[in-house]
């Protein structure tokens, strides 16, 4: 037995190595006793046995009842590592007991922003289109392709939702000096280099539109069919949050009409079935939900867990992970449930 605070670690489906650099995990183990931390699901009975002693519970999908939280007198924080708030946790009981509920979503920002930049460059410069054209001998040598291609330098780039992933993407794009616009009703100020605007203005004015909104009941089909019709001809729409946030059939129909291009890492149903017509659609760049899937791409999550555990134990208020907002969490959980049911 040790006097160290206890972490009950049930991170599976995530592998431990996916979340933590070896030195980060060692540093966490120096300050906390860790139970679990295996690359397979933790037995629920074992979690129940330990929860009364636990100071932290880390899980891909935390499932703790009000009764369990009531017994968890030492519990300071529940940390999810799947990327969003899901059902199965007694959130109200956590809030009433002063237990923080933290999401790993900010830890995806570097790898997802990198993929977003790659999609913007590939879509704007026609890399995928010309690669495919080479296969049938129809490539366009020394052709500017003004009807489809554009430079990111000085381009108008609009973000629907301006959270941490969008901000990191804008930072990566800064050397191209884009004119950055954002729609985010939760923000009053996005910084000196970002123009906040309404959604209609953004879709009408921006050559690149990045869907980065957090899926919630309020953001379902946020980019709807009417707004898709207002996109300028030749616009590139990049989907990096969830297909939940767009009218996906209307978006793909606009690509088939040749009005816009789409680069997407997410789909209404995943994985995409083999016979889906989208596999042969024109003017699309398809990625099989791999924006964060790169070696080391999720290590920032482990870094943030370590930083926040230290802060909580040290009585400091700063957090790097995303804190659940009692007024919003029900809507976020409902959206995750809808996405998983699709």
pLDDT tens digits, residue range 265-316? 999 999 999 999 999 999 999 999 999 999 999 999 999 999 999 999 999 9
- pLDDT surpassing 60 at residue 12: yes
Average pLDDT over residues 64-69: 98
Predicted pLDDT of residue 171: 98
Average pLDDT over residues 315-327: 97
Average pLDDT over residues 12-38: 98
Model confidence at 2, pLDDT cuts 50, 70, 90, reads: low
Q: How far apart are the first and last CA of the chain?
A: 45
What percentage of the chain has pLDDT greater than the value 90? 96
Model confidence at 227, pLDDT cuts 50, 70, 90, reads: very high
Q: How far apart are CA 112 and CA 256, in angstroms?
A: 26
Q: Could you give the 3-state DSSP secondary structure of residue 103? A: strand
Task: Give yes or no for a contact between 314 and 130, defined as CB atoms under 8 angstroms apart.
Answer: no
pTM here is 0.95
- pLDDT surpassing 70 at residue 1: no
Distances (CA, A) of 321 to 43, 109, 302: 26, 11, 10
Model confidence at 206, pLDDT cuts 50, 70, 90, reads: very high
Predicted pLDDT of residue 62: 98
Handedness of CA 173, 180, 125, 248 (dihedral sign): positive
- pLDDT surpassing 80 at residue 194: yes
Average pLDDT over residues 305-334: 97
More confident call, 341 vs 70: 70
Model confidence at 340, pLDDT cuts 50, 70, 90, reads: confident
Q: How far apart are CA 79 and CA 309, in angstroms?
A: 10
Average pLDDT over residues 129-158: 96
Average pLDDT over residues 178-205: 96
| Mean of per-residue pLDDT scores for the chain | 96
Q: How far apart are CA 12 and CA 81, in angstroms?
A: 9
Q: How far apart are CA 86 and CA 309, in angstroms?
A: 21
DSSP class of residue 232?
P
Predicted pLDDT of residue 341: 79
Structure tokens at 333: 């959980």
């Amino acid at each position: 037995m040790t006097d160290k605070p206890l972490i009950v670690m049930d991170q599976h489906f995530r592998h431990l190595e996916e979340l933590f650099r070896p030195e980060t995990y060692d540093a966490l183990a120096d300050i906390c006793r860790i139970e679990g931390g295996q690359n397979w699901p933790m037995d629920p009975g074992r979690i129940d046995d330990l929860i009364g002693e636990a100071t932290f519970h880390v899980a891909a999908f935390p499932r703790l009842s009000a009764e369990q939280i009531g017994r968890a007198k030492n519990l300071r924080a529940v940390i999810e590592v799947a990327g969003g708030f899901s059902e199965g946790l007694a959130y109200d009981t956590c809030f009433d007991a002063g237990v923080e509920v933290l999401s790993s979503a900010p830890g995806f920002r570097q790898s997802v922003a990198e993929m977003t930049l790659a999609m913007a460059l590939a879509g704007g410069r026609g890399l995928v289109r010309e690669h495919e054209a080479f296969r049938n001998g129809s490539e366009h040598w020394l052709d500017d392709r003004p009807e489809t291609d554009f430079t990111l330098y000085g381009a108008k780039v609009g973000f629907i939702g301006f959270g941490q992933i969008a901000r990191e993407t804008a930072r990566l794009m800064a050397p191209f000096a884009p004119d950055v616009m954002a729609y985010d009703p939760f923000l009053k100020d996005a910084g000196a280099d970002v123009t906040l605007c309404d959604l209609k203005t953004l879709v009408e004015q921006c050559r690149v539109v990045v869907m980065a909104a957090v899926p919630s009941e309020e953001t379902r089909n946020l980019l709807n069919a009417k707004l898709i019709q207002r996109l300028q001809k030749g616009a590139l729409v990049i989907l990096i949050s969830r297909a939940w946030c767009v009218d996906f059939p209307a978006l793909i129909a606009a690509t088939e009409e040749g009005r816009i291009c789409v680069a997407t890492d997410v789909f209404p149903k995943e994985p995409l079935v083999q016979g889906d017509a989208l596999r042969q659609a024109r003017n699309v760049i398809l990625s099989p939900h791999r924006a964060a899937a790169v070696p080391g791409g999720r290590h920032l999550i482990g870094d943030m867990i370590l930083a926040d555990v230290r802060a909580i134990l040290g009585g400091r208020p700063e957090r790097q992970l995303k804190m659940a907002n009692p007024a919003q969490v029900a809507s976020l959980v409902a959206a995750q449930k809808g996405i998983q049911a699709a």
